[in-house]
A and B are shown apart, each in its own frame.
Chain A
Amino acid sequence: KAGVTQTPRYLIKTRGQQVTLSCSPISGHRSVSWYQQTPGQGLQFLFEYFSETQRNKGNFPGRFSGRQFSNSRSEMNVSTLELGDSALYLCASSLLFSDNEQFFGPGTRLTVL
Chain B
Amino acid sequence: AQTVTQSQPEMSVQEAETVTLSCTYDTSESDYYLFWYKQPPSRQMILVIRQEAYKQQNATENRFSVNFQKAAKSFSLKISDSQLGDAAMYFCAYRSAKTSYDKVIFGPGTSLSVIP
A residues with a Cβ closer than 8 A to B are 31, 33, 35, 42-45, 48, 50, 55-56, 58, 88, 90, 92, 94, 97-98, 100-104, 106-107
Number of interface residues of B (CB under 8 A): 24
Closest to A56 in B: B103
Give Cα A103 to B47, complex, Å.
8
Contact yes or no, A58 B102, CB < 8 A: no
The reply to whether A42 and B47 form a contact with Cβ atoms under 8 Å apart is no
Residues of B within 8 A of A94 (CB): 102
Instruction: Jot down 20 A-B pairs with beta carbons below 8 A, ordered by A.
Output: A33-B103, A33-B104, A42-B106, A42-B107, A43-B109, A44-B106, A45-B103, A45-B105, A48-B102, A48-B103, A55-B100, A55-B101, A58-B103, A97-B100, A100-B33, A100-B95, A100-B97, A102-B104, A104-B37, A106-B44
Interchain nearest-CB distance for A80 vs B (Å)? 25
A90 partner residues in chain B, CB cutoff 8 A: 45
Q: Mark B83-109, 1 if CB is under 8 A from A, else 0.
A: 000000001000101011111111111
